[in-house]
Amino acid sequence: MPLKRGNFECDVAIIGGGIIGTALLYTLAKYSNIKSIALFEKYPELARVNSSSTKNSQTLHFGDIETHFSIRKVRLVKEAAEYLAALLEKHKQGRLYRKFPKMLLAVGEKEITTLNERFQEIKNLFPKLQKIDAKEIARLEPRLIKGRPKNQPVIALYSPDGFAVRFGALARHFSREAQREKGKKIDVFLNEYLKTIQKDREGYLLKTSKRRLHAKVVVFAAGAHSLVFAKLLGYGKEKGILPIVGSFYYSRIPLLKTKVYTVQDPDLPFMPLHADPDINNPDETHIGPIPGIIPFLEKSKPSTLKGFLRTSVYSTKGVASLFALLGKPKVLNYSINSLLQHTPILGKHLFIKEARKIIPSLQLEEIGYSSRFGGARPQLVNIRTKEAEIGESRIVGKNLIFNINPLPGASACLGNALYEADIVVKFLGPEYKFDKESFKKDLTRTDN
């Protein structure tokens, strides 16, 4: 049944009020001549899902500690992250961010070889990045060396240029700044979700939980939910989602002053183990993630099961692709071990063996399971090839953008907005302009 056009019209509708959606809202409002933009967020406040400080470690990733990135990807990630760093440095530390050093730890000869090769590849891209030995590691972070076997070699890449970002606060900042732009109609609707969408000759008819409207261009910035709508509109048929939930342990005593990451296993599509001082309470350290696989698009949200079924287990090919990925010996062993780490008592004993790779002297009584920390991220699976798709995933359709999994997530929010703003104005026509030069001029760091 055709939708009614309704009496609300806008040039661009953005579905999703996390950091990706609000960064695009900010960029279009400030740097384009688009007059009317509406953003819709299903929760009562912005950034309640993956952008929340309890859903991830809030690290600003530049590509210097991600050993699984190609050099091309490192360059792209660095460029995107520098835009955000430039914006943050215009503000005092506290409300939007804190500065933390960061470290990439290599343990054992194999990882050390990987790290030495990586350092040679990227050292010119990151002038502040240092390669340090065990003695220097011990000076900076004693707990990383204390209790470590003397015959266990260890080195690290260290950068003082680290950020922990309050992405929820930043999303609200983007929203406020966008709505302050004079001469434009910028609307942010909270507690309002999209129910249906239909194409017409001039754009799209949308029905939300509260209104009917018409938009010339629609951008979905709703994570895994973006793929749900993509499939409803006939896009992304070859893609499925394996939702991976990350859980964490924590310590309420100070363990580290540095964000410490470990070398990525290229055969595992999971975030490597890391330890972070909490952005809200630096004396508390989170260690993880312990990945798990859930049939929901959001952690602890059984109501999102329907969306999962629409994006993954909707055909025999979809089921086969998930089993093919999970059936790989290394992935299967890792998944079983992670599942056991979620169990009471036994889980803590198994997890601490993993965590001692970072903090060798860590004791059981120093950590507890964090039920409130951790979120879910969409791991895309190609249903045809039965392989995981590592990297960002964006589907561009007719006056449509579906942003499913920007890499590396929130860190790329302004780089993502720069790219998508260009697409949006081209959709709208030659009379619409995006001032890319002003964007880059305003968001260039003087010292990087």
Element of type H or E holding 83: helix 71-88
The C-alpha atoms of residue 148 and residue 154 are separated, in whole angstroms, by 9
- The one-character DSSP state at 2 is P
| Mean local confidence (pLDDT), 210-220 | 96
Token duo for residue 369 = 């399971």
Q: Report whether 220 contacts 319 (CB < 8 A).
A: no
The C-alpha atoms of residue 228 and residue 240 are separated, in whole angstroms, by 10
Model confidence over 127-151: pLDDT tens digits? 999 999 999 999 999 999 999 999 9
| Mean local confidence (pLDDT), 337-361 | 87
Cα end-to-end span (Å), the chain: 55
The C-alpha atoms of residue 402 and residue 218 are separated, in whole angstroms, by 9
Q: What are the residues whose beta carbons fall under 8 Å from the beta carbon of 9, sequence distance 6 or more?
A: 36, 213, 214, 215
- Read off the pLDDT band of 53 (50, 70, 90): confident
Note the pTM of the prediction, 2 decimals. Answer: 0.92
Q: What are the residues whose beta carbons fall under 8 Å from the beta carbon of 269, sequence distance 6 or more?
A: 244, 325, 331, 379, 388, 390
Taking 90 as the threshold, does the pLDDT of residue 58 lie above it? no
| Mean local confidence (pLDDT), 226-241 | 90
Q: What is the pLDDT of residue 49?
A: 84
The C-alpha atoms of residue 136 and residue 130 are separated, in whole angstroms, by 11
Residue 91, SS3 per DSSP: coil
CA angle 261, 263, 268 (to 5 degrees): 110
| Mean local confidence (pLDDT), 391-403 | 88
Residue 54: phi and psi, rounded to 5, are -95, -5
Q: What is the pLDDT of residue 320?
A: 66
Amino acid at 102: K
- Read off the pLDDT band of 384 (50, 70, 90): confident
- Read off the pLDDT band of 438 (50, 70, 90): very high
Token duo for residue 15 = 């579905």
Model confidence over 275-308: pLDDT tens digits? 999 888 889 999 988 877 777 777 778 888 888 7
Angle, helix 329-341 to helix 316-326, in steps of 10 degrees: 80
302's torsion region: left (phi>0), alpha (psi -120 to 50) or beta? alpha
Residue 59: phi and psi, rounded to 5, are -80, 135
The C-alpha atoms of residue 280 and residue 273 are separated, in whole angstroms, by 21
More confident residue, 252 or 185: 185
What is the Cα 412 distance to its own chain's centre?
A: 8
Q: What is the pLDDT of residue 325?
A: 63
Q: What is the pLDDT of residue 326?
A: 63
In the chain the domains, ranked by start, together with CATH numbers, are 1-95+165-236+391-448 (3.50.50.60), 239-256+281-383 (no CATH)
Q: What are the residues whose beta carbons fall under 8 Å from the beta carbon of 141, sequence distance 6 or more?
A: 103, 256, 257, 258, 260
Give yes or no for a cis peptide into 277 (omega within 30° of 0).
no
- The bridge status of strand 185-189 relative to strand 36-40 is parallel
Taking 70 as the threshold, does the pLDDT of residue 410 lie above it? yes
Token duo for residue 365 = 């009584």
Range with lowest mean pLDDT among 71-80, 174-183, 217-226, 303-312: 303-312
Which residue carries 């979620």 as its tokens? 342
What is the average pLDDT value for the chain, to the nearest integer? 89
Q: What is the pLDDT of residue 316?
A: 65
CB atoms near residue 430 (< 10 Å):
7
What is the Cα 12 distance to its own chain's centre?
A: 24
Model confidence over 250-271: pLDDT tens digits? 998 999 999 999 998 877 666 7
Taking 70 as the threshold, does the pLDDT of residue 208 lie above it? yes
| Mean local confidence (pLDDT), 237-250 | 83
Burial 85-97 (b: 16+ CB within 10 A, else e): bbbbbeeeeeebb
Q: Report whether 297 contacts 241 (CB < 8 A).
A: yes
Model confidence over 63-111: pLDDT tens digits? 999 888 889 999 999 999 999 999 999 999 889 999 999 999 999 999 9
Q: Report whether 272 contacts 321 (CB < 8 A).
A: no
Which residue(s) pair with 194 in the sheet?
A: 208
More confident residue, 314 or 339: 339
Q: What are the residues whose beta carbons fall under 8 Å from the beta carbon of 57, sequence distance 6 or more?
A: 164, 259, 274, 276, 286
Q: What is the pLDDT of residue 226?
A: 93
| Mean local confidence (pLDDT), 153-178 | 96
Token duo for residue 383 = 């249903």
Q: Report whether 231 contacts 307 (CB < 8 A).
A: no
Q: What is the pLDDT of residue 107?
A: 97
- The bridge status of strand 368-370 relative to strand 376-382 is unpaired
71's torsion region: left (phi>0), alpha (psi -120 to 50) or beta? alpha
Nearest to 162 by CA among 136, 128, 195: 128
Token duo for residue 101 = 């050093």
